Amino acid sequence: MILSSQIEGEAREVAQVFASIGKEISQSGLPIEPPACVMAGGEPTVTIRGEGKGGRNQELALACAISIDGWDRIALLSAGTDGTDGPTDAAGAIVSGVTCQDARQKGLDPYAYLASNDSYSFFESLGDLVKTGPTRTNVMDIICMLVEI
């Protein structure tokens, strides 16, 4: 299901919407039955409050990971089609309902990393950054969520 190619707004809020849709699909099979792939494109934004390193796609992914914590049948990728996200060498990150559990086992606090806008360090520690290198194209950011049966 393609939601839109015009997604805008604060990355954390966009993440909440995707998490809610994923949970609804998982619980009720609405608006589509699992297995499902929900996609969108656009360009969210980030209000910088902390001193960390990251980009809008990494921040969206981290906020979504927190929201889907424990929902092991949901996964999400958020990445820039140009291969970069903010001032980093990553295009974005991939998360699932077990990302926060994995982080806690390594002594990482997802909420603290989100509060300091340090999503890059968080995902680097977990090995969940998506690094494609420059793609020489800049269509839009893409968000792809998978929901299993």
Nearest to 81 by CA among 4, 41, 140, 130: 140
pLDDT tens sequence across 59-81: 999 999 999 999 999 999 999 99
* Domains of the chain (ranges, CATH numbers): 2-147 (3.40.1480.10)
pTM of the model: 0.97
Distance CA 38, CA 35 (A): 10
Q: Please say if the pLDDT value at position 138 is more than 90.
A: no
